[in-house]
Structures are given as structure tokens and as C-alpha cells.
């Protein structure tokens, strides 16, 4: 068999596997709702366009990497490659020992990046900035703006930063858990609390790093960004802005200013 033929076959297999993984990700993002296959396929296509837009941004790869891995269930320790921790999350999660032993990787992904208190702490930051009491997993995992007034480019960055921060907090929690052990109830309360704080700080620090740029990213998605937009906004024009000063500002909650700056 010719090398070109083998390469084509392997490429086709890789593409099929990636599409299958993205499809499973979309279905989990919209659950418990269901959609016809053609709608799911279009949603996968839209997700890939959003991922491509984020990847093209002049931004550290480390902040984008978690989202890319999450979309194909590839985050180690959170179900990635079916590699899961052999014990429930230190938060005392709803995952049973039986589910943990069976390595239901999709359940580990759902817990680590949505249900865990560490992930919830980041979600609460998003909800507070948006003035919402609930925020769908679909909006965050699939980078879909939850309201018409939310700039598409900003929301893509916010979701990417949020997922990265959830992973930072998750890793921090497990590290502290292995160092300190559990309480009598089986949960590592100090480790979880500190990890949630770490995740929140990481989220805002990632946005601050992103905003430290000389120009607003190009593209239609960033058009119309005003001075009062949640999360990231344009800087008020005072007529004498230094060229090295970023035109973007982070709408940092006052209560967190001293913690993350």
C-alpha cells in the first residue's frame, strides 16, 4: 500500500473521530435538550468557526488549549482519553464510586467543567457580570452569546478564559487535596474553597492579560464594542491616550480588584 494511501486513510479516520468527539461535546452541552442530527451538525460547524476565530487571536496558547481539549474530551484527569481519577472529586461530588470505577469520562468532564463548586465559582462571575441568575452550559461550552447585547468576540474570549480558569482551579484543588487529605465527611473543604478562589482570580487575570494589547482585535465580531460592555469594553477617550495604552479595559468587579491586580 502506498504511503499516500495510508496517509489519506489515517487522515480520514482522524477527521471522523474528531467530528464524533465534537458531536458528543455539543450534545452534552445542550443536554437535557435534544436536537435533530442536522441541527447538531450545524451547531458543530458553528463551534468550529468560533474555535478558529479564537485560535487566530494574538493570545497565549495556554489559555486556549483547555477549550480545545475539552471539546474532544481530552482534558487529563477530567475524562480526557478516558483517564479519570480513581476516587470522587474532593468537593464530594455526586459521581458515585461505581461511576468513577467505570471511567464514565463524559460525566467527569461535565462535573469538572460545570457542576463542581470550583467551576460554579467561575460561572457565578459570568452570571453576575451579565445580571443573570442562570447561564446555560450551551452558552459557555459552545461560545454562544447569551444575550443580543453581548459582543460575539468578547464572549468567545470570556468563555475561553472561563474554561481555562476552571481547569486552573481544578488542578489546584487536586494538588491541595493530595497534600492535605480529607475531612471526616470525605471532602477537602479548605482545598475546594481555596481552589474556587484561585479559579476566580485566574479568570480575571486571564482577561486582564488579554486586554493588555495595543489595538482591538480585528474582525466583524468585535464591531460596536462600547465603553460599558460587560467583561471587556473600550477605554473612555480622553484625547491624550498613550500609544502603548490598551484601548480595552476589563470591567473588574470592585470586590475583586485588590485580589487580582
Q: Which residues is 233 bridged to in the sheet?
A: 249
CA distance 239 to 235: 11
pLDDT given for residue 83 in this prediction: 60
> Across the chain, how many H-helices and E-strands are there?
10, 2
pLDDT given for residue 14 in this prediction: 65
In a domain, 51, yes or no: yes
In a domain, 84, yes or no: yes
CA distance 100 to 108: 8
Quick: pLDDT tens for 53-105: 999 998 999 999 999 999 998 888 777 665 666 677 888 776 666 666 655 67
pTM: 0.87
Residue 35, number of CB atoms within 10 A of its CB = 13
In a domain, 254, yes or no: no
In a domain, 240, yes or no: no
In 3D space, the residue among 221, 249, 233, 234 whose CA is nearest the CA of residue 53 turns out to be: 221
CA distance 215 to 245: 9
CB 56 within 8 A of CB 153: no
Element (H, E) at 53: helix 37-55
pLDDT by residue, tens only, the chain of 261 residues: 554 444 444 466 768 889 999 999 999 999 988 899 999 999 999 999 999 999 999 899 999 999 999 999 888 877 766 566 667 788 877 666 666 665 567 888 898 999 999 999 999 999 999 999 999 999 999 999 999 999 999 999 999 999 999 999 999 998 888 787 654 345 557 888 999 999 999 999 999 999 998 788 887 788 788 899 999 999 876 555 555 578 899 999 877 655 655
In a domain, 220, yes or no: no
Cell of 24: 458528543
CB 162 within 8 A of CB 203: yes
Instruction: For residue 52, give the 3-state DSSP assignment.
Output: helix
For 115, which DSSP code?
I
In the chain, how many domains are there?
1
CA distance 49 to 152: 12
CB 213 within 8 A of CB 45: no
In a domain, 235, yes or no: no
CA distance 162 to 79: 19
In a domain, 9, yes or no: no
CA distance 177 to 102: 22
For 67, the domain range is: 15-213
Q: Give 181's Cβ-side CA count (13 Å radius).
A: 3
CA distance 92 to 71: 25
Element (H, E) at 252: none
In a domain, 119, yes or no: yes
pLDDT given for residue 53 in this prediction: 94
Amino acid at each position: 500500500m502506498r504511503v499516500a494511501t495510508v496517509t489519506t486513510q489515517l487522515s480520514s479516520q482522524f477527521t471522523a473521530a474528531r467530528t464524533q468527539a465534537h458531536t458528543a461535546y455539543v450534545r452534552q452541552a445542550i443536554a437535557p435538550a435534544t436536537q435533530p442530527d442536522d441541527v447538531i451538525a450545524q451547531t458543530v460547524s458553528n463551534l468550529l468557526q468560533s474555535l478558529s476565530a479564537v485560535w487566530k487571536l494574538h493570545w497565549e496558547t495556554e489559555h486556549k488549549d483547555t477549550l480545545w481539549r475539552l471539546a474532544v474530551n481530552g482534558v487529563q484527569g477530567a475524562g480526557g482519553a478516558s483517564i479519570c481519577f480513581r476516587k470522587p472529586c474532593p468537593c464530594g461530588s455526586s459521581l458515585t464510586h461505581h461511576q468513577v470505577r467505570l471511567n464514565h469520562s463524559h460525566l467527569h468532564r461535565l462535573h469538572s467543567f460545570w457542576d463542581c463548586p470550583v467551576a460554579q465559582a467561575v460561572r457565578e462571575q459570568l452570571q453576575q457580570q451579565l445580571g443573570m441568575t442562570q447561564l446555560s452550559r450551551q452558552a459557555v461550552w459552545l461560545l454562544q452569546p447569551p444575550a443580543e447585547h453581548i459582543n460575539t468576540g468578547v464572549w468567545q474570549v470570556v468563555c475561553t478564559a472561563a474554561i481555562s480558569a476552571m481547569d486552573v482551579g481544578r488542578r489546584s484543588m487536586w494538588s491541595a487535596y493530595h497534600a492535605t487529605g480529607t475531612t471526616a465527611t470525605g471532602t477537602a473543604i479548605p482545598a475546594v474553597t481555596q481552589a474556587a478562589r484561585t479559579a476566580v482570580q485566574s479568570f480575571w487575570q486571564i482577561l486582564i492579560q488579554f486586554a493588555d494589547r495595543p489595538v482591538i482585535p480585528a474582525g466583524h465580531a468585535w464591531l460596536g464594542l462600547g465603553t460599558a460592555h460587560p467583561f471587556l469594553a473600550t477605554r473612555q477617550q480622553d484625547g491624550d491616550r498613550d500609544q502603548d495604552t490598551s484601548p480595552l479595559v476589563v470591567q473588574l468587579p470592585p470586590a475583586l480588584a485588590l485580589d487580582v491586580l
